[in-house]
Amino acid sequence: MAEPPGAPGADPGASAAESIAVLRNSESCRLLQPVRYGGRAASRSASVVSDFVAAVADLAERDGSGGWFAAAVNTSAYGVACLGEAAAERVWGADTDALVAACEEPAGRLTAEAGEFRLTGRWESVTGALSADWLLLSALDGDSVRCVLLPRDAVRLDHQAGLRGLDAAGIGDVAVSDAIVDAQTVFANPDDSPCATGELDDVGPSYGILAGAARAAAVIGAASGVWQAHVGQVRRRLATSYGSEDTTELTASAVLVAKAESDIDAARLQLVTALSADAAGAATALRQAVTRARNAADQLLSSGSRHALDATDPVARLWLDVLAGYRLTIRRIGGDPSAG
């Protein structure tokens, strides 16, 4: 599963809408959707989850937005599957191509009223929201966290303002105002629900840990893409310099490249560790992993004045994806997204 058939790469000339359309039609968005409903996930075993995380990192190495989008819609599908057969049938029963976007932050409030619920809330920076057919939104019901499954036409979607990077990840804010919600669309938190959907009956990481790991994989993959692009540019420059490059600069560049590669490798190891840890241990490992990856990308970008901060430079483009993904990941798993 490390590189699914049809996995797209980045096309710098494509618009965000075109890029998302390509992703929607690829198997990259079906990796954790149950086989019974047209996906590729035959189980939720540790090996399947590890392959999924590796696939996200591989995709993000070529296309930061694509990796981030695939991470989001697949973990959302995993969350729906963990809610049980009724939720899965509601989403994919009539359309196996339907995509789900989710936000596990309880940014809404449910109130019970005559056998129904009313929902009000605003969920910010929801990846895939602008392209999803369904939204899985967390909300407080008294002191308990519930998940509400809503069709796209039941919410208001706003484009995310002020975010640089991840331009083709469909990131948007989701708002609901005093909407009547059928009790059958309200579920326990996926982390509290046994996975009762057909094939997905194996023991795997909780929804929350998997969502965090998938985000971290996208950040680490994009950082690896920064490294690959930077090294490729250096090699091409050396090939045409005919020995005129400054020796001191070359030595410093080699040291920096080696350190960045080491940091990215260490981040990958911490990502693997997080998948088998408890919630607190996973959060710590993921924070450390994305910080290592972000620092490595920063070092490569600042290694001279050769990288322009625009989309024409693949190093700069992927660095912006790393930065945006880092901030969103830290926000979701806890920490200060402005740090560093």
Q: What is the pLDDT of residues 68-98, one digit of tens each?
A: 999 999 999 999 999 999 999 999 999 999 9
Same-domain status, 80 and 22: yes
Same-domain status, 170 and 108: yes
Half-sphere exposure of 112 (CA within 13 A, CB side): 9
Q: Which residue has the higher pLDDT, 291 or 161?
A: 291
How many domains does the chain contain in total? 3
Residue 113: CATH number of its domain: 2.40.110.10
Residue 284: CATH number of its domain: 1.20.140.10
Same-domain status, 105 and 68: no
Residue 75 falls inside a structural domain: yes
Residue 37: CATH number of its domain: 1.10.540.10
End-to-end CA gap in the chain: 34
Residue 9 falls inside a structural domain: no
Residue where one domain finishes, among candidates 192, 225, 250: 192
pLDDT for res 195:
52
For the entire predicted model, the pTM comes to 0.89
Same-domain status, 86 and 108: no
Q: Which residue has the higher pLDDT, 230 or 239?
A: 230
129: DSSP letter: T
- What confidence tier does 2 reach under pLDDT thresholds 50, 70, 90? very low
Q: Which residue has the higher pLDDT, 317 or 19?
A: 317
Spatial separation of the C-alpha atoms in residues 69 and 124, rounded to whole Å = 16
Residue 11 falls inside a structural domain: no
Domain that holds residue 314: 207-333
pLDDT for res 25:
77
Same-domain status, 153 and 225: no
Residue 221 falls inside a structural domain: yes
190-237 pLDDT, tens digit per residue, is 876 555 444 445 567 899 999 999 999 999 999 999 999 999 988 887
Same-domain status, 27 and 129: no
- SS3 (DSSP) at 128: coil
Q: Which residue has the higher pLDDT, 254 or 107?
A: 107
Residue 6 falls inside a structural domain: no
Residue 58 falls inside a structural domain: yes
Write down the mean pLDDT value for the chain: 87
Residue 85 falls inside a structural domain: yes
Same-domain status, 285 and 234: yes
Residue where one domain finishes, among candidates 163, 192, 221: 192
Same-domain status, 64 and 121: no
Spatial separation of the C-alpha atoms in residues 128 and 171, rounded to whole Å = 5
Residue 158 falls inside a structural domain: yes
Q: Which residue, among 78, 125, 177, has the nearest Cα to 331 in the 3D structure?
A: 125
Same-domain status, 278 and 227: yes
Share of the chain above pLDDT 70, in %: 84
Cβ atoms of residues 99 and 133 within 8 Å: yes
pLDDT for res 290:
98
- What confidence tier does 242 reach under pLDDT thresholds 50, 70, 90? low
- What confidence tier does 186 reach under pLDDT thresholds 50, 70, 90? very high
Same-domain status, 230 and 310: yes
Most confident of 17-31, 36-50, 148-162, 245-259: 148-162
6-29 pLDDT, tens digit per residue, is 455 555 556 667 777 887 778 899
Same-domain status, 306 and 226: yes
Same-domain status, 64 and 164: no
109-157 pLDDT, tens digit per residue, is 999 988 889 999 999 999 999 999 999 999 999 999 999 999 999 999 9
Distances 16 to 10, 100, 303 between C-alpha atoms, Å: 11, 18, 29
